[in-house]
Amino acid sequence: MYRVTLIPGDGVGPEITEATTRVLEATGIAFDWDIQNAGEEVYNQEGNPLPDRVLESIRKNKVAIKGPITTPVGTGFRSVNVALRQSLDLFSCLRPCKSYAGAKTKYEDIDLVIVRENTEDLYAGIEYKKDSEGTKAIIDLVKKLSNRAIRNDSGISIKPISVFGTDRIVRFAFEYARANNRRKVTSVHKANIMKYSDGLFLEVSRQVAKDYPDIEFEDKIIDNMCMQLVQKPELYDVLVLPNLYGDIISDLAAGLIGGLGLAPGANIGNECAVFEATHGSAPKYKGMNKVNPLAMMLSGVMMLRHLGETAAADSLDKAIASVIQEGKNVTYDMKPTYDDPTASTTSGVADAIIAKMTN
């Protein structure tokens, strides 16, 4: 019996979470779900969208699976997802993007692994509002230090990238490559422009690569990487990126395999791991039993592997692959057209997968 923290999230989170726990339980592995709510409703009730009890539960159980959580745009509380990763030092965001036969996509045989640094960069949350004291002080300091003017009506986000943070994420990418028989790691950056933040990321990547002579290493500038991934994705294998580029490239890679509905993920630290789909809470579909639960289910497959339950992971992955290949019991986003009347519901996908595993 595994005690696992379960965060249903909001928007479509609760419905895909329910579908996911059902297929995970159908593998025969016993789970004792420690249910912890977080997000906007919790913020309204408890004054904090990520109460300490949630973090304590994950620290204790070491493993969590979560549905997406809405972040208000521009105003309101900071992202619960980012806070969770930072509070638990879940420094590595691992997002495999693999083609499944039968999925509706322009590409075949995609097999990429995105390793995104999760705690630093422009997502560190060090931001100064326009006209605030902090902003004024930074503008004055920059003027003094570099004689460069920042316009007075600016807002400022700070981009820290450290040797420590880069070393551990690049090492994680190489260790992952080694453990999973991958051939190449590509470090992605914009070191030609941001010489001291991305430049450091590249320099440390090169240093770490020397400890892994058995794995090919190369680097690519982020804009070129975007074009290359669209034109010849087969040339790439494991990509390691700072936080912001990693976020964007994760969605690009999800597009290559058929959309966000199929892109799983894990946030991994030295102590705990939190499994979640790449996609967000898709609020417009909330409560409609309509969206694709496969990305969260595939995150569940990653969780089973993390727990060492390889046979259960293989069995669930196989059942999911078979449902995708048949193309019958899949949601609207995987049908030839979005208004296909034969599209399955979220719970219908879970039923079909469970039937595969139990027959």
Q: How far is the CB of 254 from ligand NAD (least distance, A)?
A: 9
338 in catalytic set: no
When the beta carbons of 62 and 286 are compared against ligand NAD, the nearer one is: 286
123 in catalytic set: yes
Q: How far is the CB of 288 from ligand NAD (least distance, A)?
A: 11
The angle subtended at Cα 154 by Cα 148 and Cα 158, nearest 5°, is 75
Catalytic residue selected from 66, 98, 190, 290: 190
What is the DSSP secondary-structure string of 241-279? E-HHHHHHHHHHHHHHTT-GGG---EEE-SS-EEE--SS
CA gap 268, 84 in Å, rounded: 11
The residue whose Cβ lies closest to ligand NAD is 280
CA gap 171, 182 in Å, rounded: 14
As a whole number of angstroms, the longest Cα–Cα distance in the chain is 72
When the beta carbons of 143 and 284 are compared against ligand NAD, the nearer one is: 284
When the beta carbons of 238 and 291 are compared against ligand NAD, the nearer one is: 291
Structure tokens, 264: 């799983």
Q: Report the candidate in 52, 49, 32, 31 with the shortest Cα–Cα distance to residue 40.
A: 49
Q: Kindly report the length of the chain.
A: 359
223 in catalytic set: yes
219 in catalytic set: no
Q: How many CB atoms lie within 10 A of CB 357?
A: 17
Q: How many CB atoms lie within 10 A of CB 119?
A: 25
CA gap 238, 196 in Å, rounded: 24
Footprint of ligand NAD on this chain (CB under 6 A)? 68-71, 81, 260-261, 276, 279-282, 284, 291-292, 295, 333
Catalytic residue selected from 66, 98, 123, 290: 123
CA gap 297, 347 in Å, rounded: 12
When the beta carbons of 81 and 187 are compared against ligand NAD, the nearer one is: 81
Catalytic residue selected from 131, 223, 284, 328: 223
Catalytic residue selected from 10, 121, 247, 333: 247
Q: How far is the CB of 275 from ligand NAD (least distance, A)?
A: 11
Q: How far is the CB of 282 from ligand NAD (least distance, A)?
A: 4
When the beta carbons of 27 and 299 are compared against ligand NAD, the nearer one is: 299
Q: How far is the CB of 245 from ligand NAD (least distance, A)?
A: 16
* Active site (catalytic) residues: 123, 190, 223, 247
